[in-house]
Amino acid sequence: MPVVAQLGFLASRLGKGLLVLAGVIVLNFVVLRLAPGDPAMVIAGDQGAADAAFVEEIRRDLGLDRSVPEQLVNYAAALVRFDFGQSYREKRPVFAIVAERLPATILLTFSALACSLLAGILMGSGAARRAGSAIDAILTGMAITLFAMPLFWTGLVAILIFSVWLDWLPSYGMVEATTRPWGLGYALDVGRHLLLPMATLAAFYAAIYTRVTRSAVLEVLDRDFVRTARAKGVSAGSIWRRHVLRNALLPIITFASLQAGHLIGGSILVETVFAWPGIGRLAFDALLQRDYNVLLAVFFISSVIVIVVNLVADALYALADPRVRLK
């Protein structure tokens, strides 16, 4: 593809992504402002003072005494400068708070995404190649079972088995307090803490990708070009690699990009169960504390991640199938 066409595609997708992001910013802001609960009342209650004058003073300090449109304009202007404001609770810049938690969530979600895609493609393609056999029934049954189990329940069972009974893996946190924050020892300790939450999150989505892959492969196997390749005497391995898997990847890429937002949402449950210090757990705590600025920052960053993932998925389409044109 010419460089000009690639740049045009990138500019078009970025423009659409920015429009989507602007809509998400407005929607999230308005919904949070209309939701029940008042941060000023929560803060006043924590400080043991609930008189109207004190609450009104807190509202003025936080800028909550202004109209919602005025608050939205001020918030949007601050976002242009990458200023997420101050946390109502911690009295610190929200950017610093989120920056501390974001790497943990990225590590958890992207490792879970990679593992779920790998496991789902392997299980789904294996089931499709032996459709109707006992292996197909076992793999399909495993996928349905994993999909039917709630994330929090899977996490609790994993903790019970691997942490309590077998004592193989830690059940909470990201790293031991005594581990120095650098070097190979630190990486290994993080890896040990990552295994259970990553496996819990990946198991659910691997079940989905297994079903999608199986259906996609079975559909491709019934296409005319696969029959023609077999009639020409092309080896089974070549047919599988060059024709079946390459065409079956397209719906998988689509589904994986659509699941990016769900994956981040699912991390809230997993981070809560395993006390994983990511933005999912941060958003949950901020919701309970009515810390609007932190919640809006988490929503904004999550939206950016989803938009970037979908942009990458569009580019992968052309790599998986040259017949697809980037428009």
- pLDDT tens readout for residues 271-327: 888 888 888 888 888 887 778 888 888 888 888 888 887 777 777 766 666 555 555
Helix (H) or strand (E) holding 314: helix 292-320
pLDDT of 50 reads: 60
pLDDT of 262 reads: 73
pLDDT of 312 reads: 77
242-259 average pLDDT score: 76
Measured between its terminal Cα atoms, the distance across the chain in Å is: 11
Report whether pLDDT(21) > 60: yes
Q: In angstroms, what is the C-alpha Rg of the chain?
A: 24
Report whether pLDDT(187) > 60: yes
Q: Are 95 and 83 in contact (CB under 8 A)?
A: yes
CB count within 10 Å of CB 145 equals 11
Band the pLDDT of 177: cuts 50, 70, 90: low
Domains of the chain in sequence order: 3-80 (no CATH), 102-320 (1.10.3720.10)
Question: Percentage of the chain with pLDDT > 70?
Answer: 85
pLDDT of 186 reads: 80
Report whether pLDDT(87) > 70: yes
User: Would you report the helix, strand and coil content of the chain in percent, each value rounded to 5?
Assistant: 80, 0, 20
Could you tell me the two tokens for 181? 């924050």
Distance (Å, rounded) from C-alpha 256 to C-alpha 206?
10
pLDDT of 317 reads: 67
Min mean pLDDT across 86-90, 179-183, 191-195 is at 179-183
CB count within 10 Å of CB 98 equals 20
188-201 average pLDDT score: 88
Distance (Å, rounded) from C-alpha 156 to C-alpha 180?
28
CB count within 10 Å of CB 272 equals 17
Band the pLDDT of 180: cuts 50, 70, 90: confident
Could you tell me the two tokens for 162? 């691997």
Question: Percentage of the chain with pLDDT > 90?
Answer: 2
Q: Are 220 and 243 in contact (CB under 8 A)?
A: yes
CB-based contacts of 254: which residues, under 8 Å, 6+ apart?
Answer: 313
pLDDT of 222 reads: 76
pLDDT of 3 reads: 53
Q: What is the pLDDT of residues 153-170, one digit of tens each?
A: 888 888 899 988 888 888
Helix (H) or strand (E) holding 236: helix 236-238
- Mean per-residue pLDDT of the chain: 79
- Looking at residue 276, the DSSP 8-state letter turns out to be -
- Mean pLDDT highest for which of 44-53, 107-116, 129-138, 211-220? 107-116
More confident call, 232 vs 9: 232
Q: Are 123 and 210 in contact (CB under 8 A)?
A: yes
Distance (Å, rounded) from C-alpha 30 to C-alpha 10?
30
Could you tell me the two tokens for 156? 């609790």
Give 86's strand partners.
93
pLDDT of 7 reads: 62
More confident call, 162 vs 220: 162
142-156 average pLDDT score: 85
Band the pLDDT of 184: cuts 50, 70, 90: confident
13-22 average pLDDT score: 81
- Residue 205 sits at the vertex; the CA angle it makes with 200 and 208, to the nearest 5 degrees, is 140
In degrees and rounded to multiples of 5, residue 5 shows phi and psi of: -65, -40
